[in-house]
Amino acid sequence: MSKFRIFEIILYSCLNLLPYIGLAIYPFTEKLRFSKQKTISFIIILAAFQSIMGVYATTCSQGQKGLISLISTACYAAFYFVTVKEKFGKLVFVLLIVSNFANFVVMAAKWLEGQIFPQMALQNNRWTFSVCTFVIQLIFVPLMFIFFKKFIKEVAYIETNSNLWRYLWMIPATFYLFWYHGLYFNSKSSLELALNYVNLIFTFFINVGALLVYGVLISAMFEFEHNLKLRDENKQLALQNLRYDEMKKQMDATRRARHDLRHHISVVHAMAQNNECKKIEEYLGKYLKHSYLKNPIVYCGNFALNTVLVYYVQEAENADIKINIDIALPNEISIKDADLTVLFGNLIENAIDACENVQKDKRSIELKIHRPNAGSIVFSIDNTFDGNIKMSGNKFLSTKQNGSGIGIESAKYVVEKYNGDMKIEINDNKFCVSGVLLQ
């Protein structure tokens, strides 16, 4: 094999790798496992490996070429999944989009080569094919980059439940199968297909249609995310309003208590003069029972979480539920206020609803939230319940309406958003939810 032939293969290997790996990584530049310098070094190593495989493939039998192609593809995919720290389904989604685009470029470049260099087009990976590939990439890669910048890059910031990405990758996979079927399940050779402009036009519109579908899908996902955030913010605002109302009640009660305090002192003083200790104890007990000062208004230093606790503690006591709270958190944590509101608001609300179906003397809720180290927050909430559980598969169903329990699903969504884990256990008529959030 001549040096020029080796150069041709290396040139095509680089053109067939570098633009596409750049597109695939671009949306996740903030989620790389390694530094950008190391990632670039790995890309150079991968390009060298692909070039060596390409050179070796030209000297092999047809069967060995297929195996080498499979190895090259596996190495490309393995590099991508190792380099980028993101949900597997999301990575497959982006990788298949890039693969579909690469297939179109190959077909378009071969067609262009057939028009300009018809004799050279009959051979594999000649310099003419690399030139045509570069021309096609020069036209379409910038357009694809604009599309990625407008839509695909935002995929990295969509925090949708990971279960959804288990299925979304099937959309670009379907378009990939269209191309694969048209190329390999055909009586004509791939070269004949590529040189036919009708096939090129068909492939072009398939790719355009696919991009439109991706754009609509991602826009819909962003709309869904936006609506979720609005719902969470509205819930947080509602709880804050309740918190302010509660504080106003506490302030009014304090004023009344201070105004009436001298009267109570006079009564207690008179009882003390008569050595009526029993009556003093009963009198003070009645006073404290009806006092708005009996409950603390600060459970922790985080305002959003404290807002939720003050409101739901009052709700629990109105329902004759004994509630114990053990919290050890710094005032400032990296978890968003809206997420704290959604997570613990839903969990405590579910616990209160469950306790209401239990005898009054057995109603209890125990909430613990701690930060064992700077990188995590652990929590648990245990409540009594009547033992009745509605489930469909591994999902808890709502006891108020048909369908899955929104509270549990919302809590899981927040936990997954912070790369945490949540576990649900049932022990002796106690419903126990525990989890960890990674900061």
* DSSP structure class, residue 287: H
Residue 73: per-residue pLDDT: 82
Exposed, middle or buried by CB within 10 Å (0-12, 13-18, 19+), for 143?
A: exposed
Q: What is the pLDDT of residue 402?
A: 46
Check residue 141 and give its pLDDT.
Answer: 94
What radius of gyration do the chain's Cα atoms show?
Answer: 33
What the block records as the tokens of 202 is 């068909």
- Separation CA 220–CA 241 (nearest Å): 31
Q: What local confidence, expressed as pLDDT, does residue 367 receive?
A: 94
Q: Where are the domains of the chain?
A: 3-231, 295-439
- Distances, alpha carbon 327 to alpha carbons 350, 383, 399, 418, in Å: 19, 17, 29, 20
Q: What predicted TM-score, i.e. pTM, was given to this entire model?
A: 0.61
Do the Cβ atoms of 210 and 172 come closer than 8 Å? yes
**What is the pLDDT at residue 223?**
79
Q: Which residue numbers in the chain have pLDDT < 70?
A: 1, 62-63, 66, 159-163, 179-194, 228, 232-233, 235-262, 287-297, 390-406
CA 400 – CA 405 distance, rounded (Å): 9
Read out DSSP for 244-262? Answer: HHHHHHHHHHHHHHHHHHH
- Size of the chain, expressed as the number of residues it contains: 439
Q: Are strands 364-373 and 322-328 parallel, antiparallel or unpaired?
A: parallel
* Residue-level pLDDT at 435: 93
Q: How far is 344 from 387, CA to CA, in rounded Å?
A: 22
Q: What is the Cα–Cα distance from 108 to 181, expressed in whole angstroms?
A: 18
The rounded distance, in Å, linking the Cα atoms of 195 and 363 is 76
The number of beta carbons lying within 10 Å of the beta carbon of residue 378 is: 15
CATH architecture of the domain formed by 295-439: 2-Layer Sandwich (3.30)
